[in-house]
Amino acid sequence: MRYRVLGGTGIEVSVQCLGTMMFGAIGNPDHDDCARIIHAALDQGINFIDTADMYSAGESEEIVGKALKGRRDEVVLATKVHFPMGGGPNRGGNSRRWIVREVEESLRRLGTDWIDLYQVHRPDHRTDVEETLSVLTDLVREGKIRAFGCSTFPAEEIVEAQVVAERRGLGRFRTEQPPYSLLARGVERSVLPVARRYGMGVLVWGPLASGFLTGRNRKGRPIDMTSGRAALTPGRFDPSLPLTATKLDAVEALVEVADGLGCTLPELALAFPAAHPAVTSVIIGPRTMEQLEASLKGASLVLDDASLDRVDEIVPPGFDLYHPDGAWVSPHLSPAARRRPELDRPAAG
């Protein structure tokens, strides 16, 4: 396993990060099996674990907390806050009120006194970013978190947060967690360059492109719609759709690249984001031990320039073949944001 420094934090993390979104009701509900996967990852050199409060409504954090008893000091532990946790107003977002409350819940579920990396899961345009940075800075001073970052923020909002932090004398986002894969390279245009400019660590999610880079979904072959991401979002895997056909064509070309390297498509997919100079760690999200073992094989693969040039021919740099599931969508593109209120329009006739 290779290790890299996480931005300017001085913390060394493994080039692969164990993501735990699939631990709990949404994926693997067997807590003991999930714990075995976590221990196997640690035994293979992974020292970086990423979870979130909203994964299976807190169950993922509980699983991670139980699995890390006796091994907490070995792990750089990251979690996230933002999405609603239960019904009613003020139970989500990036406000001081919610973050102060929810960090305590995450600490309880994780069974720990501190979180190494606390991430804001998405932007919140109802809350001034100064408000968010202020409470996160306070949590660092209180010793409840060691560093904080953002996840799936557009480049312009990363810049705004950095400028506000400098002007107000607040702590700043030390990391960003964007979607990045062979099929979705949009973050190369601005997010990754901005992260490098500000010395931020980058841990990327979605390297297997929602299942399209696992090697199971191939052109001209039946797609299993009963399991994995296909079962959750079947419309995205319909081979009759032009977008799906485009992705499957790209997959076939990428399989040829992998064959030329003597590796599998998933190994190529996991090695590709790690080759970018802005990327610190690649999040893998196994549901089973077999998936973990397959992912670990890609940790040592280093791609040469010729292979990267071939990838560029298949999917151009900075280009998204599709909009990644769960990626940020600008609220300014909504109809309400693009149209003047009715009172501003001239009367008919």
Active-site residue set: 55
Provide the 8-state DSSP code for 188.
Answer: G
Three-state DSSP class for residue 177: strand
Residue-by-residue DSSP string for 52-120: -TTGGGGHHHHHHHHHTTTTGGG-EEEEEE-S--SSSTTSSSS-HHHHHHHHHHHHHHHT-S-EEEEEE
Q: Pairing between strand 3-5 and 12-14?
A: antiparallel
Exposed (0-12), middle (13-18) or buried (19+): which is 202, by Cβ within 10 Å? Answer: buried
Measuring CA to CA, how many Å separate 39 from each of 24, 70, 111, 260?
Answer: 16, 11, 17, 33
Q: Which residues contact 340 (CB under 8 A, 6 or more apart)?
A: none
Three-state DSSP class for residue 312: helix
